[in-house]
A = this chain, B = another copy of it.
Amino acid sequence: MSEVTDGQNKKAMFDKIALIGIGLIGSSLARVIAREGIAQTISISTRSEATLERAKALGLGTQYTTDASEAVKDASLVILCTPVGTYGKIAELIAPNMMKGAILTDVGSVKESVVKQIKPHLPEGVHLVAGHPIAGTEYSGPDAGFASLFEKRWCILTPEEGADQAAVERLTEFWKACGSDVDSMTPKHHDLVLAITSHIPHLVAYNIVGTADDLETVTKSEVIKYSAGGFRDFTRIAASDPEMWRDVFLHNKDAVLETLGRFSEDLSALQRMIRWGDGDALFELFSRTRGIRRNIIDMGQEVDAPNFGREDGSSDLDN
């Protein structure tokens, strides 16, 4: 019933986008950029010959190179999709070849460090607008990506004060075209928010899986067999990419240590409730936490089904 008021073909939002790194996030971007016709040219760069060959075989881009400084030539949008610890070196490498007026952004999980690493190398006339799509899976590499990864997920942009407004708006439109909602905040606040919503959960998951692996009173086979008691939920994020997560913790040290302090303090209080048999305090906490999941489901950030809708009839212990 709706009228098409514009008979022309949709013009691509960007002439050329360069993706530096083609793992889970980079390859998901390549797929959605192609599907939505967001760029005419998708230039893909990765240092690994084998990964580049894989990207080619998957048909993820229109240009392929192992040299990031080649990839960024004539690109109006350059997106860093490598582990956060690599940004300084890459910025130094690509700076001489970046086009005036181009936007340089990234998808990294920390944002203060990104600005610090890139700023010293940023060429005049290139607009740095750091970003972070809150999306992913526990899988890595170019095969792991999919075009719908960013749908209904938030992308946080952290432009500095005085950032070029046109660049911020263009990047906002880019992420909306990828299916995301877009928010904006300071790098420092981003790093605090993500410390609790992402970095501490990952740290705790890595830790509990490590503890279980080390116990000498319980065998590894027992841990695996009875993991449906709750443990298996933690193994998912503890299966995330090790290099990426090493860099997250090294580059968001202050916020992670601060938030971890709060977590440990609260855990000590909980430990004391158990030791002294304070059932009322335990009940109060366990009741309060139930509401938060309901809110997350209501906000469309989680599936509304028991056990994450696991399809195999597999289930988690609540008894």
Contact = CB atoms under 8 A, between A and B. Distances in A.
Contacts of A247: 279
Interface residues of A, number: 128
A57 interface: no
A222 B237 contact: no
A290 B153 contact: no
A31 interface: no
A5 interface: no
A81 B25 CA distance: 45
A254 to B, nearest CB: 10
A315 B153 contact: yes
Contacts of A266: 207, 210-211, 214
A267 interface: yes
B210 A193 contact: no
Contacts of A183: 225
A160 interface: no
Interface stretch (A62-70, A129-137, A167-175): A129-137
Contacts of A227: 197, 296, 301-302
Contacts of A263: 207-208, 211
A228 interface: yes
A301 B229 CA distance: 10
B290 A239 contact: yes
A280 to B, nearest CB: 8
Nearest to A261: B271
Interface stretch (A45-53, A96-104, A306-314): A306-314
Contacts of A163: none
Interface in A274-319: 274-275, 277, 279, 282-283, 285-290, 292-296, 299, 301-303, 305-319
Nearest to A198: B229
Contacts of A228: 134-135, 153-154, 301-302
Interface stretch (A87-95, A116-124, A138-146): A138-146
A318 B138 contact: yes
Contacts of A222: 193, 197
A12 interface: no
A11 to B, nearest CB: 27
Given A263-B207, A282-B249, A148 B313 contact: yes
A249 B224 contact: no
Contacts of A202: 230
Contact of A197 (B194, B207, B212, B314): B212
Contact of A108 (B81, B207, B293, B319): B319
Contacts of A318: 24-25, 136-140, 240-241, 244
Interface string A186-213: 0000001110111111111111111111
A262 B294 CA distance: 32
A206 B250 contact: no
Q: Top 8 A-B pairs ranked by shortest CB distance?
A: A198-B229, A136-B318, A137-B306, A242-B286, A201-B230, A235-B293, A308-B308, A25-B319
